Amino acid sequence: MSDIIDPLMPPYRFERVQPQLYRGGYPKPRNFRFLRRQRLKTIVSLIPEDRDNLLAEFCHAEGIKRVVIAVESPNENVTVSESIVSRCLELVTNPDTMPLYLHCLDGSNVTGVVIMCLRKLQLWRVASMQSEYLRFEQDGEIIPEESEFVEAYSGRGLVLPNPYAEWLWPGRVAALGGKCDINALPFKNNVHPVVPHTRLRQRMSTDICQPDPRL
């Protein structure tokens, strides 16, 4: 009798966001074989509480670092704070944490707000980031509180890794002696030219930023 091989089943609403960055819902045991194929280094869980030991045991067995960030169950308001979003963005833009899987309970609202803030950091147009959000939203709408949160998110407290992921601002990351040229960022103010981190304090544009031909 031949062995039965479990099918490769991705988590609910699984999707690639960028190279080596994935999003989706809470992984179930049936998803573990699929996730193992992604050779993940990190799983970031945005969940109210963690009563399921199976995912923790899977991460331990596979040598995956798991970061659990407590958030409330999604309802008619935004359940993440600016500090939580900044922490998530530090993780998902760090090459040392990738491949990385970011998830909430259902892979929709909570994860969606974080990804919209990531897209804002990438200088996407508002219509584009909202269109991506709606692909994972079963109700087909963005509540006003979510739109207002993303619009108000300014990157306060966000410290990007150095180097950060090359896909963050394509064409604007220059490797110099194994380090990134932090002066190549698409922000003109509050950029420290010496320290090995970049602090973003100003409000980021919600419109696309055209490349500067002088860079």
Q: Which H, E and C letters describe the chain, residue by residue?
A: CCCCCCCCCCCCCCEEEECCEEEECCCCHHHHHHHHHCCCCEEEEEECCCCCHHHHHHHHHHCCEEEEEECCCCCCCCCCCHHHHHHHHHHHCCHHHCCEEEECCCCCHHHHHHHHHHHHHCCCCHHHHHHHHHCCCCCCCCCHHHHHHHHHCCCCCCEECCCCCCCCCCCCCCEECCEECHHHCCCCCCCCCCCCCEECCCCCCCCCCCCCCCC
Q: Which of 59, 88, 104, 117 is catalytic?
A: 104
C-alpha span between 51 and 43 (Å, rounded): 16
- Beta-bridge partners for 160: 198
209 catalytic, yes or no? no
Which are the catalytic amino acids? Answer: 104
